[in-house]
Amino acid sequence: MPNAAHSAPTRQRIIQAVLKIIGEDGVAAVTNRRIAREAGVSLGSVTYHFETQHELLRESLLHFVREEARHFTELADQCQTEGIDIEAAASLAGQVACGTALDSAHLAPFELYLHAGRDERLREAAAEAFRAYDRLAARILGALGVPDAERLAATTVALVMGLQLRRLATGSPAEDLVDALLLLARGASRPAVS
């Protein structure tokens, strides 16, 4: 087992290279030689840190989601500290979406999610990723006072991911995401009519 402190930078470079390759050319383009070249490591380092391509893909997906969840959790904490209303939360989501570059790094997770649909060994990693997004959405919705936030979390995540995918594929504006989130949050905040 490698020394964790010594191997972390190499491992990180390998994961970043995998995400870059997937985002540029898809999962089929991921080869150990290309990873080594992109990461600036030896070919042996790739197989030393990741025994199988499945492990590489799984860890790359989880790494991306953990980083995204960490970033969005910080934003959620900031919202809870400062207090935020629905319009401000939707505006913040739009700012985040606008700040998200339409680049290979943001295409990679979509490629990995699709690959998980073909490779059941990646499904648990994809499920873990979506659980993290759902927890974060429930937390933000709850902070906004949206009733039944836990139940609406998956729908919110699906909406955001679908609109981000649309934005990546078409270049559509982030304002579409803001409008959709406002529609969802306002509808969820209204009392049910009997």
* CA angle (77, 82, 86) in 5-degree steps: 85
The structure tokens listed for 27 are 């999962």
pLDDT for 4 equals 46
- Model pLDDT, residue 40: 93
pLDDT digits (tens, 9 = 90+) for 82-112: 566 777 766 666 666 655 555 666 788 888 8
Under 8 Å CB-to-CB from 73, ≥6 apart: which residues? 136, 139
User: Once rounded to an integer, what is the mean pLDDT over residues 54-61?
Assistant: 89
Q: Do residues 105 and 23 touch, judged by C-beta distance below 8 A?
A: yes
- What element of type H or E holds 123? helix 123-143
Name the average pLDDT for the chain.
79
- 119-150 pLDDT, tens digit each: 888 888 888 888 888 888 888 778 777 888 89
Window from 24-33, 53-62, 88-97, 168-177 with minimum mean pLDDT: 88-97
